[in-house]
Structure 1
């Protein structure tokens, strides 16, 4: 059974997830993520097992979760259509090491860094349960966020 009838109606925000482990950085565009607890605050991001970022994140103590503005398409293309197996994405963007060495992207609308509490299988993706430990300054106004329909035409760096 497929979920197409249901999922075709969704237009969820896209996230850019970054990781660092053993002096290797990685990042990718992610559509599967959500807050999963209020008290204590927890967030879960799902990374494809086919993705270079997943291979780095398996060994990372922290992950960065970034929101992009709707007009950040070039950043979405870099992290969504290129693979870290062959491209150093971080050579092309402004970033700083955040908590645990996690890359924090300067162009992101908002971000948080979360300590990885757990990892769990979910089919072709693995969920990373995060405890937020640092976040960006408050964003003025309410920017229009990059959504799935803004990037669904991108060719992924790795097949899903």
Structure 2
């Protein structure tokens, strides 16, 4: 398929094929001036162990990423397999995403979501253009592992580990 002439159908086909790659589900949170901000993000990965770096890719259309970018420090909360409703709450356009979830202030004031199976407190280093997304690189400043298995997203559905 010639991707230089991507059509609506080709985009749907690409989404379907890319959806065959299972990803973890995270919620990126920050302490913004008007209150906590956050969004669901599946495009998260480790980048380097020395120094400890991660990357994530928020959509360029995100209204929440500019708030988190401005904060400079944020938390990547790795959701546990029983946190599907948390993922949905932060994926929507609801103004008060934090109203229906348990959270507490963590290191550097970032919101930590209760019962996440891991979290990483990060400091934004740089961003790169990535088509319809922004590729953000961040230095990990603190991290912790919780318990339980992660929430997985595959082929348009939430799943647990087999």
The answer to whether TM tops 0.5 is yes
Q: How does 1:1-160 map to 2 (within 5 A)?
A: 1=3, 3-4=14-15, 7-80=18-91, 82-83=92-93, 86-136=94-144, 138-140=145-147, 143-149=148-154, 152=156
Structure whose alpha-carbon radius of gyration is higher: 2
Q: Is the 8 A contact 1:19 1:25 kept in 2?
A: yes
Q: Which runs of 4+ in 1 moved over 6 A?
A: none
With structure 1 as the length reference, what TM-score do the two structures score?
0.80
How many angstroms apart in 1 are the aligned matches of 2:20 and 2:32? 37
Higher strand proportion (structure 1 or 2): 2
- RMSD between aligned residues: 2.2
Point out where structure 2 has 5 or more consecutive residues left out of the alignment. 4-10
Instruction: Report deviation, 1:25.
Output: 2.0
The TM-score with structure 2 as length reference comes to 0.79
Contact 2:20–2:154 (CA<8 Å) still a contact in 1? Answer: no
